[in-house]
Amino acid sequence: MLKKEDNLDAELNRLLIKQFFSAYNTKQEYYWLEEEFEFIIKFCLENNKLPMLHYALSLALKYYPENADFHYSAGKYFLATNNCHKALNHFKKFLFDDPQNDFVVFEMCFCWENMCKTYDAIDVLTDYLKNFNPNSAAAWFALGSSYVNANENINAIDAFEYSLALNPESMATYFNLGNLYCLEGNYEKALLIYSEALKLDDSDAAIYSYLGECYFYLEDHENAIKYENKALELDNTCEYAYYFLARTYFKFEQFQLAEDYVNKAIDCNDQISEFYSLRAYVNQSLNNNSLAEEDYIKAINYDKYLFECYLDISIFYMQENKIELAIDMLERILEDMNEPDKTQTKYLLCACHFMTGNKQEAYRIFNTLDIIDAKLSELLNGQFDAFVYDPVIIDLIKDKSKP
């Protein structure tokens, strides 16, 4: 066994590693001092010697089970070997042994995400913040990310707000918070968040693009165009800048410009479903219906679970009088999509069955609708009047309208 030294020199380090190699190859159990184990573990990590690292950690934790750094290294090892459950156990030991080691929460979140244990993440992080380290910006950020994974956007916003208050220079927090406010439709608040981010870094194209997106939804199209163009000045591969410029010009019925910009968005990234959906709208407006159909199908292929894509192509097929194809798409929505409100889909399906002569099926589905909104008929774009003004349908609407 080597003598303890405050700083092992190069020769002692070489001898230590040689001794470790010998022990590993013969699978003999050796005892080293704590700082010697630290050097051996560091050597294995830096040289990506995972089998040797496992051997070293098993001995180190046997002799020094309370050493938090060894638990952290063990977590890194098990993470590298895709054993998230064991990695998480060691990371927890490291964190709760010293609550200031909050940087590890990001690796813990990776484990929870891979194990689909979102609510475990929320429980552990909430306990940590409540009872151990309420001022951890990293843990609040991780909690916000976990709430996002759980689709609890309001709680996520609260967590990110706490994180930002503790670390007001975190660009990642600004982005997450701004995006959540956008998802919640609070574009004014999102503008404030992105504007604060801009003060930290006025050369980030993504921030300008997000600002342009907010102005688009607030119908301030002049500023939308201004900020999206600024994003492209900084980064001409910013696909969403092209996309929102295309949407803006589409709204102004400048279809050729819209087509030019959406094509540039697709050139930057040809696997985004909503880009193809937008180009399909543009092609329809330019009376290029065969191209529109191709783009609707591409949109579905790139996101098979995006409800809007199926609804869009269903309406397109109805407008093209391809009713059987529309029925197929609408039935896929009802069977496969996690659509919270199926009213639109069922209403369109009623119209399709009615127009194919299957009126009884149309009436049956119509009876399953909970709420009848007068705006539903707008989905039909003035088509299918025989369905809209059918006496039985009108009577069913009246019955459902009664208190």
Question: Any idea what the CATH number is for the domain that residue 290 is in?
Answer: 1.25.40.10
- Please indicate, yes or no, whether residues 328 and 360 belong to a single structural domain of this protein: yes
Is residue 94 within 8 Å of 71, Cβ to Cβ? yes
Q: In CATH, what number is assigned to the domain containing residue 344? A: 1.25.40
Is residue 177 within 8 Å of 140, Cβ to Cβ? no
What is the Cα gyration radius of the chain?
29
What average pLDDT does this structure show over 278-307?
A: 92
Six token digits for residue 346: 């069922």
Domain boundary among 253, 271, 300: 300
- Please indicate, yes or no, whether residues 231 and 275 belong to a single structural domain of this protein: yes
pLDDT for res 126:
96
Number of domains in the chain: 2
- Residues 6+ positions from 44 with CB-CB distance below 8 Å: 50, 52, 53, 56
Domain extent for 310: 304-403
pLDDT for res 11:
82
* Inside any domain, residue 342: yes
Q: Out of 35-44, 264-273, 289-298, 371-380, which region has the weakest mean confidence (pLDDT)?
A: 371-380
* Inside any domain, residue 123: no
Q: Out of 159-168, 221-230, 313-322, which region has the weakest mean confidence (pLDDT)?
A: 313-322
- Please indicate, yes or no, whether residues 346 and 278 belong to a single structural domain of this protein: no
pLDDT for res 50:
93
pLDDT for res 398:
81
pLDDT for res 306:
78
- What confidence category does residue 210 fall into, taking pLDDT thresholds of 50, 70 and 90? very high
Length of the chain: 403
- Please indicate, yes or no, whether residues 332 and 366 belong to a single structural domain of this protein: yes
- What confidence category does residue 6 fall into, taking pLDDT thresholds of 50, 70 and 90? very low
* Inside any domain, residue 32: no
Position 359 pLDDT exceeds 60: yes
Position 7 pLDDT exceeds 60: no
Token pair 């220079």 is at which residue? 169
Domain boundary among 300, 315, 333: 300
- Please indicate, yes or no, whether residues 175 and 274 belong to a single structural domain of this protein: yes
Position 24 pLDDT exceeds 70: yes
- What confidence category does residue 2 fall into, taking pLDDT thresholds of 50, 70 and 90? very low
Six token digits for residue 80: 């590298």
Which of 102, 40, 113 has its CA nearest to residue 77?
40
* Inside any domain, residue 292: yes
Most confident of 108-117, 231-240, 366-375: 231-240
Instruction: Please give the share of the chain, as a percent, with pLDDT higher than 90.
Output: 79
Give 319's DSSP letter. H
Residue 34 in 3-state DSSP? helix
pTM of the model: 0.81
Instruction: Provide the CB-side half-sphere exposure for 46 (13 A, CA).
Output: 6
Position 400 pLDDT exceeds 70: yes
pLDDT digits (tens, 9 = 90+) for 114-123: 999 999 999 9
Q: Please tell me the distance from the alpha carbon of residue 360 to that of residue 63, in angstroms, as a whole number.
A: 77
- Please indicate, yes or no, whether residues 290 and 267 belong to a single structural domain of this protein: yes
b/e for 218-232, b at 16 or more Cβ within 10 A? Answer: eebbeebbebbebbb
pLDDT for res 30:
83
Six token digits for residue 317: 């097929």
pLDDT for res 403:
63
- Please indicate, yes or no, whether residues 226 and 241 belong to a single structural domain of this protein: yes
pLDDT for res 340:
67
- Better pLDDT: 43 or 381: 43
Domain boundary among 300, 332, 365: 300
* Inside any domain, residue 219: yes
* Inside any domain, residue 105: no
Give 49's DSSP letter. -
pLDDT digits (tens, 9 = 90+) for 51-102: 999 999 999 999 999 999 999 999 999 999 999 999 999 999 999 988 999 9
pLDDT for res 27:
82
Which of 220, 217, 225 has its CA nearest to residue 242?
225
Q: How many CB atoms lie within 10 A of CB 27?
A: 7
